[in-house]
Amino acid sequence: MDIDVLVAGAGPIGLTAAIELRRRGINVRIIDPLGEPPQYAKAVGIQPRTLEVFENMGVLRQILDAATIMRGQIAYTNGSEVGRMDLTLPDDVPYTFGGLPQYATERILTTRLAELGTSIERGLALTGFEDIDDGVTCVLSDGNTVRAKYLVGCDGAHSTVRKGLGLTFEGGAFAESYMLGDVEVDWSMPSGYAIRASHVDGAGTTDDLLVCIPLPGHKRYRMSMLVPDDLLPDPPGPDGVAHGFSSGKTPELHHIQAVLDRLSPEPTTASTLRWSSVFRISHRIVDAYSRGRVFIAGDAAHIHPPTGAQGMNTGIQDAHNLAWKLALAADNLAAPGLLDTYDTERRPIGEEVVGMTVRNAREGIGSGESSIDTAMRRQAQLLVSYPDSPLNTGDKSNNSPVQPGERAPDARGLTRDCVQFPIRLFELLSGVNHTLLLCSDGSDDSIGDCEKHSAAAIHASQGQLDVYVIAPPSSDSVYSTLPIIRDSDSQLCTAYGVDENCALIIRPDGYLGYRGDHTGISGYFSKVFAFNT
């Protein structure tokens, strides 16, 4: 093989996949047909769950430094305020909603990838591939071929990889097209709030629309609005997918100002047009996320309305789910069937997101939800789970707040030797290895039992494991070969609904894989890792 993995597409999803593979020492090439990275604010919303992923990847500080907070949305109809929604989350969630132009997210991820020794090969496209024998032969636009163990297509709505796999891409297009513009305004709207202004005719039909999403800067917004007749987009290309930017149709500042004059909640003047485009929206999803040694993620697998900023975030989490499994397979450490769980786990999420965004586009964000808390958690992507994953192992208790296959929550108030301040559970998660938490009562016998099961677990996981003993605050003078973490405020045990002599396995992508007693740990690892003699 020339390389372990070829990643086609260097947007946020391809960069996430490449970073996560490189963190695990996998030999990766990442290519993109564009000679320069695009400088447009296409995807701008970053969900709280994605910020957890960014913490895991080691780029959280840079993302937060560059981003702005998303506080909520104020809605106007025919010039009058008709609703205000605050984006609030419970205290158990470490991060809230953020806004950042896609090009800034890509810049941060590109820098992180370069730190890991890999650069994007720009001006180079994948033109074809063949999955044969034990690898994928990839044909590049420069005439060269590359032999890779695996191919990952993160190449967007018009994906070459998806077409090459012959996957269906079922769905349809919205009749409306939109123009987008990155501008500044001089109004007095409160910072951090999206502004949605519409006009409804006498029959109750919305015939004019303006949506303004705050961006970092002084009263800077990414605005979207219905496209005027003189900027109507080109018809769909040969693949029939009417999704993405139109070529040759660029709105000017006066186009945006005309809509503001009609719909802005107060008189305002737009200035500093950084970027603009016309955009078409479709909703589609593939029939499979992988075939053989070839995988797709992000817009290559699912496209949908931008309502609620779900698209880029879902794609990033596609890549985050796939990469740790692909790394084990590339190193010949994966159990048979591990790579199949990518489709099993992520395609239902894609189907849910497509359905939710289409519904929200037509009925409003949160439609059909049982409570505002549930609606906020779903928009934050904190409720993404894999209840039917074959990897789920151990006890499923109706009395437990976290089941195998669900997001592993953070916990605060933990203490450990040599650290004078409380720490968080997320600080213990490397994101590269699995994490095993062995709950103990702090007695010598219990600690000894933890050490015994730890040794067996490290062997079963091929050494790809971090182990911690979770002990009560009273156990401040114990001997152990394992690091002791004291659950001083019982926040961890409460968050996970566990007590002493229970074990938890947190997957590298931040999901609970196992909960149960110490004796069942090996059952989970047998589903993930090849048998270790």
How far is Cα 192 from Cα 212, in angstroms, rounded to an integer?
Answer: 11
> Which of 86-95, 118-127, 279-288, 348-357 has the highest average model confidence (pLDDT)?
118-127
How far is Cα 409 from Cα 91, in angstroms, rounded to an integer?
Answer: 11
Which pLDDT score, from 0 to 100, does residue 117 have? Answer: 97
Q: What is the CA radius of gyration of the chain?
A: 24
pLDDT in tens, 232-265: 776 776 766 766 666 667 899 999 999 999 999 9
Identify which of 171, 390, 170, 165 has the alpha carbon closest to the alpha carbon of residue 290. Answer: 165
Q: Which two tokens stand for residue 498?
A: 């566990």
> Given pLDDT bands bounded at 50, 70 and 90, which one contains residue 309?
confident
Residue with the bigger pLDDT between 234 and 384: it is 384
Residue with the bigger pLDDT between 355 and 27: it is 27
Half-sphere exposure of 111 (CA within 13 A, CB side): 10
Which pLDDT score, from 0 to 100, does residue 374 have? Answer: 85
Which pLDDT score, from 0 to 100, does residue 79 have? Answer: 95
Which pLDDT score, from 0 to 100, does residue 233 have? Answer: 73
Helices (DSSP H) in 241-310: which residue ranges?
Answer: 253-263
How far is Cα 137 from Cα 157, in angstroms, rounded to an integer?
Answer: 23
Instruction: Please give the backbone phi and psi of residue 275, each rounded to the nearest 5 degrees, phi first.
Output: -165, 150
| Mean pLDDT along residues 191-208 | 92
Residue with the bigger pLDDT between 391 and 204: it is 391
Q: Which residue has the tokens 């004291």?
A: 486
Which pLDDT score, from 0 to 100, does residue 367 have? Answer: 64
Q: What is the DSSP letter of 212?
A: E
The answer on pLDDT for 420 being more than 60 is: yes
Q: Which two tokens stand for residue 194?
A: 């999206």
Which pLDDT score, from 0 to 100, does residue 239 have? Answer: 66
Which pLDDT score, from 0 to 100, does residue 533 have? Answer: 52
Cα 473–chain centre separation: 35
Which pLDDT score, from 0 to 100, does residue 311 have? Answer: 87
Q: What is the DSSP letter of 35?
A: S
Which pLDDT score, from 0 to 100, does residue 288 have? Answer: 97
Least confident of 145-154, 167-176, 297-306, 460-469: 167-176
CA distances, 389 to each of 32, 158, 289, 338, 511 (Å): 33, 29, 15, 10, 11
The answer on pLDDT for 294 being more than 90 is: yes
Q: Cβ–Cβ contacts within 10 Å for residue 103, how many?
A: 17
Identify which of 491, 490, 507 has the alpha carbon closest to the alpha carbon of residue 385. Answer: 507
Which pLDDT score, from 0 to 100, does residue 38 have? Answer: 86
Q: What is the DSSP letter of 409?
A: P
How far is Cα 91 from Cα 413, in angstroms, rounded to an integer?
Answer: 13
- SS3 (DSSP) at 497: coil
Half-sphere exposure of 108 (CA within 13 A, CB side): 20
> Given pLDDT bands bounded at 50, 70 and 90, which one contains residue 362?
low
Residue-averaged pLDDT of the chain: 92
Identify which of 477, 482, 406, 391 has the alpha carbon closest to the alpha carbon of residue 439. Answer: 482
Sign, CA dihedral 331-336-337-338, equals negative
Task: Strands of 267-378 (E only): list them.
Answer: 271-286, 290-291, 294-296, 302-303
Which pLDDT score, from 0 to 100, does residue 246 have? Answer: 67
* Type of residue found at 119: S
Which pLDDT score, from 0 to 100, does residue 395 have? Answer: 82
pLDDT in tens, 128-153: 999 998 999 999 999 999 999 999 99
How far is Cα 437 from Cα 395, in angstroms, rounded to an integer?
Answer: 15
How far is Cα 28 from Cα 7, in angstroms, rounded to an integer?
Answer: 7
Instruction: Please give the backbone phi and psi of residue 67, each rounded to the nearest 5 degrees, phi first.
Output: -90, 170
How far is Cα 150 from Cα 175, in angstroms, rounded to an integer?
Answer: 38
Percent with pLDDT over 70 in the chain: 95
DSSP-derived pairing of the beta strands 206-215 and 193-200 = antiparallel
Q: Cβ–Cβ contacts within 10 Å for residue 468, how many?
A: 21
- What DSSP letter does each residue of 112-174 carry, written as one string? HHHHTT--EEET--EEEEEEETTEEEEEETTS-EEEEEEEEE---TT-HHHHHHT--EEEEEE
pTM attached to this predicted model: 0.94
Residue length of the chain: 533
Residue with the bigger pLDDT between 273 and 376: it is 273
Which pLDDT score, from 0 to 100, does residue 243 have? Answer: 67
Instruction: Please give the backbone phi and psi of residue 140, each rounded to the nearest 5 degrees, phi first.
Output: -105, 160
CA distances, 529 to each of 189, 230, 329 (Å): 54, 58, 9
Q: Which two tokens stand for residue 192?
A: 């951090």
Which pLDDT score, from 0 to 100, does residue 358 have? Answer: 78
Least confident of 92-101, 297-306, 403-412, 427-436: 297-306
Asked if 73 and 193 count as a contact pair (C-beta separation under 8 A), the reply is yes
CA distances, 66 to each of 37, 42, 60, 86, 101 (Å): 18, 16, 10, 22, 9
Q: What is the DSSP letter of 519?
A: G
Least confident of 293-297, 411-415, 496-500: 496-500
Q: Which two tokens stand for residue 447?
A: 């600690």
> Given pLDDT bands bounded at 50, 70 and 90, which one contains residue 397?
confident
For the chain, how long is the longest CA-to-CA vector?
Answer: 78
Which pLDDT score, from 0 to 100, does residue 376 have? Answer: 87
How far is Cα 270 from Cα 110, in angstroms, rounded to an integer?
Answer: 32
